Amino acid sequence: MLKRGENKEQLTVGADMKTAQNKLKTLDADFQKSLLKVMRSQRVAYFTVGHGELNELQGAAAAEGRSTKNIKRLFESQNYALKDLGLAQGLAGEVPADAHIVLVLGPSQAFLPEEIASLKRYAEKGGRLILALDPEPKIDLAPMAAAFGLTWKPTLLATDDARHFYPLRHNDSDHVILLTNRFSSHASVSSLSKMSQRTAIVLRGASAIDKAEGAAGNIDFAVRALAETFDDQNGNYLFDKETEKRNGYNVAAAITKPTGEKDKDGKDKEMRVFAIADADALSDGAVGDTPNGLMALDVIRWLGGDESFLGAITSNEDVKIEHSKQKQAVWFYATIFAVPLAVLGLGFIASRRRTQPQRRAA
Sign, CA torsion 228/292/280/127: negative
Confirm if 338 and 54 have CB atoms less than 8 A apart.
no
Structure confidence by residue, pLDDT tens digits, 64-115: 788 999 999 999 999 999 999 999 999 999 999 999 999 999 999 999 999 9
pTM score over 0.85? no
Amino acid in position 136 = E
Amino acid in position 192 = L
Q: Which residues contact 106 (CB under 8 A, 6 or more apart)?
A: 53, 54, 132, 133, 134, 137, 279, 280, 283
Helices marked H in 159-198 = 190-194
Q: So what's the pLDDT on residue 323?
A: 46
Q: So what's the pLDDT on residue 15?
A: 77
Q: Residue 260 pairs with which residues in a beta bridge?
A: none
Pairing of strands 201-204, 99-105: unpaired
Q: So what's the pLDDT on residue 342?
A: 65
Give me the CATH code for the 40-304 domain, please: 3.40.50.880
Confirm if 140 and 51 have CB atoms less than 8 A apart.
no
Q: So what's the pLDDT on residue 336?
A: 57
Taking the CB of residue 268, how many other CB atoms lie within 10 A of it?
11
Q: So what's the pLDDT on residue 321?
A: 43
Domain edges within the chain: 40-304, 325-362
Q: So what's the pLDDT on residue 306?
A: 82
Q: So what's the pLDDT on residue 29?
A: 60
Instruction: Quote the crossing angle between the two packed helices 291-304 and 69-77, to the nearest 10°.
Output: 50
Q: So what's the pLDDT on residue 150?
A: 98
Taking the CB of residue 94, how many other CB atoms lie within 10 A of it?
12
The C-alpha R_g of the chain, in whole angstroms, comes to 25
- Report the alpha-carbon angle 200-201-202, nearest 5: 125
The residues of the chain scoring below 70 in pLDDT are 6-7, 9, 23, 25-40, 307-343, 345-346, 348, 350, 352-362
